[in-house]
Amino acid sequence: MSTSYILIKGATIPVEFNTNPLPNHDILIENEHIKAIGPNPSPPDNTNITTIDAQNHDSARAGEDDAVRMRKQYLQGNDPTNALLTFGIVPNEPDAHSIDTKIAELRKSREIGARLITLHIALGHYDIFHQCTIQKLADANLLVPYLVYSHDASMTDSELGAIRESGAGIVSTPDTEMQMGTEDPGSLVFRAGDMGCRVGLELDITSNQGCDVLVQMRLPLQMQRALEKTKNESGPPIKLILNRFPLLPGEKADLMMFRCDDIGTTSVVDPVGTVVFHASVKQIDTVLINGRAVKRGGELVGVDYTGLCGEVQGRSERHRREAGGVDIKWAGEFWRGCLEGSSSHKCVDEKID
């Protein structure tokens, strides 16, 4: 099979943790994979190359078009009362962009039809300049109930109060917060909960860590206890934040049933304590969603595990091959430069020229 190349010239490429997209960059594609991105990538000599002039094209526009297509094609029903899956958007990192860019992306997300918009914000120790992005959004009257704020470690009490009044939600990703060192995950969860905010826990970067939602319940509680011991002071009592939905006639049949007959969970005294401190996903025996069993006898219903594992393995191998062409040193320097220079908006000029 012959190798084919496509060279896209002069594209504008959005980059995460960047104050502006990368202008005037080229993309070299070998067969179905991207081979190189940057100014003037060099294809092999004596090859058949198809060149596309993208000087007047913006890949961000293409991303918007793709989001619109996904919304219309797969997620027309956006009401959570009758749709299991609804449409949401995660814009570019707000802390790395100007307030005007934030406003434009929020408006565009709503125009496309996002029911929820998640903002990765106030990343603790990475929020070097303590930008108070939430306060800026509050001052612009942009705090609304359909926003969800993730991470949030360096939020001020004033910002948490503004979120509470807006009716928006706050979520912590304990595994990620501890791995990245953004902050103690428990401090934000309990502080925001005490202030009356809508608080939740979530899984994050499941390609990098376990997908056990019960672990996310344990981590902030145990971390907070450890810190209280370290401080050697008598702080306020630890509280477990747990939403309980009533099992009543007419409610949706969304149920999760745990087995409690192994050595780690037998002799249940406190059901909540047993689930949070002793159970894992292995103890989840049955899951019903809208009355339909999606897990039964500890196994997902209607899932071809052998085929799924083969597909995951194939994707993993492809990602490793593609990662071999990444300049890790440049990427690391670029990332640090963006974090350190995000408030001055000099990141692109310093790292790309």
What is the model's pTM?
A: 0.54
* Domains along the chain with CATH numbers: 1-57 (2.30.40.10), 78-243 (3.20.20.140), 244-319 (2.30.40.10)
Burial label for 54, CB within 10 Å (0-12, 13-18, 19+), is buried
Per-residue pLDDT of the chain (353 residues; tens, 9 = 90+): 567 777 777 765 655 444 445 666 777 777 666 777 777 777 776 567 777 665 544 555 657 788 888 888 888 888 888 888 889 998 887 777 777 888 888 888 989 889 999 888 876 666 666 678 888 888 888 888 989 988 877 788 889 999 999 999 888 888 777 777 666 666 677 888 888 998 888 888 776 666 777 888 887 777 666 656 545 444 443 333 334 455 556 667 777 888 877 887 777 777 777 777 778 888 888 888 877 888 888 889 999 989 999 999 999 999 988 888 888 888 888 877 776 654 433 433 333 33
* Calpha distance 340→59 (Å, rounded): 26
Pairing type for strands 284-289 and 299-300 reads unpaired
> What does the DSSP assignment read for 155-207?
--HHHHHHHHHHT-EEEE-HHHHHHHTS--HHHHHHHHHHTT-EEEE----TT
* Calpha distance 206→322 (Å, rounded): 20
User: For residues 65-79, b (16+ Cβ closer than 10 Å) or e, as one string?
Assistant: eebeeebeeebeebe
Sheet containing strand 255-258, edge to edge, reads 255-258, 284-289, 292-296, 299-300
